[in-house]
Amino acid sequence: MGQIQLKQVTKSFGDVQVIPPLDLTIQDGEFTVFVGPSGCGKSTLLRLIAGLEDITTGTIEIDGKDATDVVPAKRGLAMVFQSYALYPHMSVRKNIAFPLRMAKMDQAEIDKRVEAAASVLNLTDYLDRRPGQLSGGQRQRVAIGRAIVREPAAFLFDEPLSNLDAALRVGMRLEISELHERLKTTMIYVTHDQVEAMTMADKIVVLQAGVIEQVGSPLELYRTPRNLFVAGFIGSPK
Ligand code: ADP
Ligand code: MG
């Protein structure tokens, strides 16, 4: 399960409305990419879905249930940050286990989930290291591992690869796509990088100044961009 529905959602910071009324449905299991230039509202939209920001008006439903006033920890979603936000003094194992320990999960179940996540992410040999002893790509995997163990209804990624060098970024894109293939869990992925959007998405949501310009598959956006902004941004010939 992992359908997310935004109905007439707006967000204002003080007097400034950064998201005008917006409707969007993300289907269960879909890999959706929010793409658009810096400042267009991608992170804000993701944070509204995660519950890290309160929406100003409108509603958010997760799997058909109103989640507008549900606290982030109870939404069943897991956010992966670009800055990793790992605890430097804790081992990889403890970093990955952290959300489960906070939830007071049974230790045997924690161990089982951490081992399974580490196996999926090729981190089994690194569980006793600290984040400082890992490469950038490995640290990013630990951050993803910490999301996986929660078995979320959806993963929310905010430009997770922007701190990595170009070569590593290509590899991590493949890893995240493969993870989606394997888990088939809803993923929302924010990027300002058109190549990332075109290569990873089932569905792309193109944003400009808080407004959805178009929603469609990469091919649809490429072949039939609705306007010059989408055409220019996606790099299609029109
Ligand atoms: P993006 O992630 O696409 O770069 P953001 O969602 O971070 O864009 O920002 C969208 C707009 O909202 C920008 O104009 C930004 O300055 C504004 N904004 C974001 N967060 C805040 C905040 N906490 N207070 C005031 N303005 C904000
Ligand atoms: Mg952002």
ipTM: 0.98
Count, residues in the chain: 238
Each of the 238 residues of the chain gets a pLDDT tens digit; together they read 899 999 999 999 999 999 999 999 999 999 999 999 999 999 999 999 999 999 999 999 999 999 999 999 899 999 987 666 899 999 999 999 999 999 899 999 999 999 999 998 999 999 999 999 998 889 989 999 999 999 999 999 999 888 788 888 888 899 999 999 999 999 999 999 999 999 999 999 999 999 999 999 999 999 999 999 999 888 766 5
CB of 42 closer than 6 A to ligand 1?
A: yes
C-alpha–C-alpha distance, residues 170 and 199, integer Å: 10
DSSP 18-38: EEEEEEEEE-TT-EEEEE-ST
Q: How far apart are CA 78 and CA 46, in angstroms?
A: 11
Residue nearest to atom 12 of ligand 1 (CA): 18
37 lines ligand 1 (CB under 6 A): no
